[in-house]
Amino acid sequence: MALTPTVTKTAVTQRSISSWNVSVTLTVTDDDGPGFSQQYSTVYKQGTKVPRNIDDIRVEWLADMQARIDQYKTERSLFAHAKFDGMIAAINAGLVV
């Protein structure tokens, strides 16, 4: 499972004179699975720490994105487990048509 993450800018929408909604999309391609895509958005207020500035958003998104990648890796590991494959094979063998 080789994963390739890519973050792209999705949108910036002005809410007020100094406030914007900003959003990005994380796309993870997997050479051995479906991969995933997830959007992240928040409010950015220019020149202020309330609610947070762009560095705070970067740190938050980085942690959220890494947690989602780790979750995907766990899901794929369980999906590829031999016992899961064995269970599916036993179910298929047990079906009568």
**Within a domain: 80:** yes
Q: What is the pLDDT along the chain (97 residues), one digit of tens a residue?
A: 799 999 999 999 999 988 889 999 999 999 988 999 999 999 888 776 655 677 888 999 999 999 999 999 999 999 888 998 999 999 999 999 9
Q: Single out the residue of 40, 41, 37, 25 nearest to residue 72, CA to CA.
A: 37
**Within a domain: 93:** no
**Within a domain: 19:** yes
Is residue 18 within 8 Å of 46, Cβ to Cβ? yes
Q: What is the pLDDT of residue 75?
A: 93
Q: Which domain holds residue 47?
A: 3-87
**Within a domain: 51:** yes
**Within a domain: 63:** yes
**Within a domain: 38:** yes
Cis peptide before 5 (omega within 30 of 0): no
pTM recorded for the entire structure:
0.79
Angular region, 50: left φ>0, alpha ψ -120 to 50, beta rest: beta
**Within a domain: 62:** yes
Is residue 65 within 8 Å of 7, Cβ to Cβ? yes
**25 vs 36: CA distance, rounded Å:** 10
Give the chain's domain count. Answer: 1
**Within a domain: 97:** no
